Chains A and B, each alone.
Chain A
Amino acid sequence: MTAIEAGHLVKRFGSVTAVNDVSLSVPDGRIFGFLGPNGAGKTTTMRMLTGVLTPDAGNVRINGIDIHRHPLDAKMQMGVIPESSTVYGDLTAEQNLHLSGKMYGMPRGVRDERVSEILSRMGLGEKRHLPVRTFSKGMKQRVSIGCAIIHRPKILFLDEPTSGLDVQSRRLVTDTIRQMNGQGSTVFLTTHNIEEANMLCQTVCIINKGGIVAQDSPERLKKMFDTTQSIEVSFDRPVNGDLFTDPGILRAELCGDKWRLYTENPDRILKFIVKEAANRSLGITSLATSGPSLEEAFVHLTECA
């Protein structure tokens, strides 16, 4: 069954076409990553999928319900965490969760139980009676997530949910996504954090300049660019880029105390490095090869389009 289905979505703002003929389909129970650089059209697409914006053309179905014909029925199926949107600062964490539960028509008893459960899971039990305006960004985001999942939605939309969060809050968010998915929810995750998408998503869709440029599993997307691999090497003393003169090295990047070398022939470059290290009396402290990353695929797809 298809949880989210969008066909030929178009959205224009004046003379700018923010989203141009976007179609996508998310099967039930999947974690679907929606990636793209800033200004690619991710948030506009998500706003159309969640019924916040009306598309100029195209249609959206949520669990088979046309969201623009039956917005309320469709919205009952979903929980949404908008990118920059927050919860009510003048209300306490508990009041925000109750308000959200009321919006979804949850009876008082069920709501009480669920609010306590979420506050405890989000580590906010002791701060439940404090106004949210006194919370840190991470704590506000936890309340925001709680508001979106209070009714155990069948589909969860998250727009850049970990942006600007500390490690603990980020982990809590990713754990919640996995947990919701484990309980059967479909997750639509908009992000520009490629590693996050790589770790969480079964399918990744890349949007650039308002159009979809690729949609597949992270591993298959990586294999689209499997001609390029990388080697990471570090030495016992600093070296500069002049060392890497072999024509088989396509690009050399200094990453912290390591060099990352991109090549189509790792065997040749490995031998070159070992030989050069011996010639210059350099000790190799670490040496590793890796296949193409999702980041590489992303860069290729968004640069070429």
Chain B
Amino acid sequence: MEVPLALRGILVITGKNMRLYYTKPPVLMFGLLFPLFMFLAFFVGRGLDLVAFFPAFLAMMLFFTSSSVGPLITPWEKREKTYERLLSYPVTQDSIILGDISAGVVFGMGISLLVWAASAVVVPLPIVNPLLFGVAFILGTVSCAALGVLLASPASDSPPNVMILSNLIRFPLIFISGIFVPLSHMSGAARALAYCSPLTYLVDLFNAAMAGSSAFSSLLDCGILIMVTIVFIVAAKVIQKRNLTKGL
């Protein structure tokens, strides 16, 4: 009986998060406006080829949107004193974490698909491997949403502090991940740093799916994204369990 109950809990928590947190200013600002402004700042006036740049832009959009919901939820619930009630419902802390990740996944996928579809109307955006494109979308949103939830874990009940912390981690990831400078143009320390970012593998996967060219094998990209997702979820679980009573 516990498995259906757990699944129901995850679904209800996802729905609750979607209703409550998608329209919160930090989510709109860091999830929608930031990637848009970064794109404009980088692209406008530089005569770049939008089609060639689009896989990296899509990865950045997906990264920002998917990872913007998670950091907000737990600190917000703790500040508003709703977290203990949530824990007393027929859910576990694991269900709450998975519900928070799912909310990030739906948000990231929805917005990014919308951006991709709208862009595809304006400029021709080829997809050489639709299956890989779908896999990249799913793995990208799940891993980025899991990162978002992990970023919320150390916090107690202060959403602004968490958003600052999350941006301290998210922005450097953007700059080292082959979004603005392709991986093939990097060398030395920059390239070594790029290997450390999960976003690098997502950009590579989108390049493989949309342009047919990539630095790594798609299997390796997928494997690394799956691995970091598991690491993010396990780390979030361990840290959130340790910080459970803070802010109850």
Interface residues of A (CB under 8 A from B): 13, 47, 50-53, 70-73, 75-76, 78, 80, 82, 84-91, 95, 99-100, 102-105, 144, 147, 157
B2 touches A103 (CB 8 A): no
A85 touches B85 (CB 8 A): yes
Q: B92 contacts which chain A residues (CB < 8 A)? A: 71-72
Partner of B5, one of A76, A87, A91: A76
B19 touches A91 (CB 8 A): yes
Q: Do A88 and B89 form a contact, CB below 8 Å, given A70-B2, A72-B6, A99-B12? A: no
B90 touches A85 (CB 8 A): no
Residue of B nearest to A18 (CB): B245
Residue of A nearest to B87 (CB): A52
A82 touches B85 (CB 8 A): yes
Q: Which of B82, B88, B245 has the most CB of A within 10 A?
A: B88
Q: Do A91 and B85 form a contact, CB below 8 Å, given A13-B245, A102-B12? A: no
6 A-B pairs with the lowest CB-CB distances in the bound complex, closest first: A80-B88, A75-B90, A72-B5, A85-B84, A103-B89, A82-B84
Q: B88 contacts which chain A residues (CB < 8 A)? A: 50-52, 75, 78, 80, 82, 85, 157
The verdict on B9 contacting chain A, using a C-beta distance below 8 Å, is: yes
The verdict on B44 contacting chain A, using a C-beta distance below 8 Å, is: no
The verdict on B20 contacting chain A, using a C-beta distance below 8 Å, is: yes
A88 touches B80 (CB 8 A): yes
CA distance A47 to B83 in the complex (A): 13
Interface residues of B (CB under 8 A from A): 1-2, 5-6, 8-9, 12, 15-16, 19-20, 80-85, 87-92, 244-245, 248
CA distance A158 to B91 in the complex (A): 19
A72 touches B83 (CB 8 A): no
A104 touches B90 (CB 8 A): yes
A86 touches B82 (CB 8 A): yes
B80 touches A73 (CB 8 A): no
Q: A100 contacts which chain B residues (CB < 8 A)? A: 89
Q: Across the A-B interface, how many residue pairs have beta carbons closer than 8 Å?
A: 80
Q: Do A72 and B91 form a contact, CB below 8 Å, given A103-B9, A103-B12? A: yes
Q: B248 contacts which chain A residues (CB < 8 A)? A: 47, 52, 85
Given contact pairs A50-B88, A85-B84, A86-B82, a sample of 4 additional A-B residue pairs in the complex whose CB atoms are under 8 Å apart: A47-B84, A47-B248, A75-B88, A76-B5
CA distance A103 to B12 in the complex (A): 6
CB distance from A144 to the nearest CB of B (A): 8
Q: Do A52 and B84 form a contact, CB below 8 Å, given A91-B19, A91-B20, A103-B89? A: yes
Q: B5 contacts which chain A residues (CB < 8 A)? A: 72-73, 76, 105
Q: B85 contacts which chain A residues (CB < 8 A)? A: 80, 82, 85-87, 144, 147
Q: B245 contacts which chain A residues (CB < 8 A)? A: 13, 53
Q: Do A72 and B81 form a contact, CB below 8 Å, given A53-B245, A104-B89? A: no
Q: A71 contacts which chain B residues (CB < 8 A)? A: 90, 92
Q: Do A88 and B20 form a contact, CB below 8 Å, given A71-B92, A102-B12? A: yes
Residue of B nearest to A104 (CB): B90
CA distance A73 to B6 in the complex (A): 10
Contact sample, A vs B, 20 pairs, CB 8 Å cutoff = A13-B245, A47-B248, A51-B87, A52-B84, A52-B88, A70-B2, A71-B92, A72-B5, A72-B6, A72-B92, A75-B88, A76-B90, A80-B85, A82-B85, A84-B84, A85-B81, A86-B80, A89-B80, A102-B15, A105-B5
Residue of B nearest to A99 (CB): B16
CA distance A248 to B100 in the complex (A): 67
CA distance A80 to B19 in the complex (A): 23
B12 touches A72 (CB 8 A): no
Residue of B nearest to A159 (CB): B84
CB distance from B76 to the nearest CB of A (A): 10
B90 touches A103 (CB 8 A): yes
CB distance from A58 to the nearest CB of B (A): 17
CA distance A184 to B33 in the complex (A): 54
Q: A13 contacts which chain B residues (CB < 8 A)? A: 245
Residue of B nearest to A43 (CB): B248
Q: A104 contacts which chain B residues (CB < 8 A)? A: 89-90
Residue of B nearest to A52 (CB): B87
CA distance A90 to B16 in the complex (A): 11
Q: B19 contacts which chain A residues (CB < 8 A)? A: 91, 95
CB distance from A82 to the nearest CB of B (A): 4
Q: A75 contacts which chain B residues (CB < 8 A)? A: 88-91
Residue of B nearest to A46 (CB): B88
Residue of B nearest to A75 (CB): B90
CB distance from B161 to the nearest CB of A (A): 21
CB distance from A154 to the nearest CB of B (A): 13
CA distance A207 to B91 in the complex (A): 29
Residue of B nearest to A77 (CB): B90
Residue of A nearest to B2 (CB): A72
CA distance A85 to B88 in the complex (A): 10
CA distance A152 to B52 in the complex (A): 59
B81 touches A84 (CB 8 A): yes
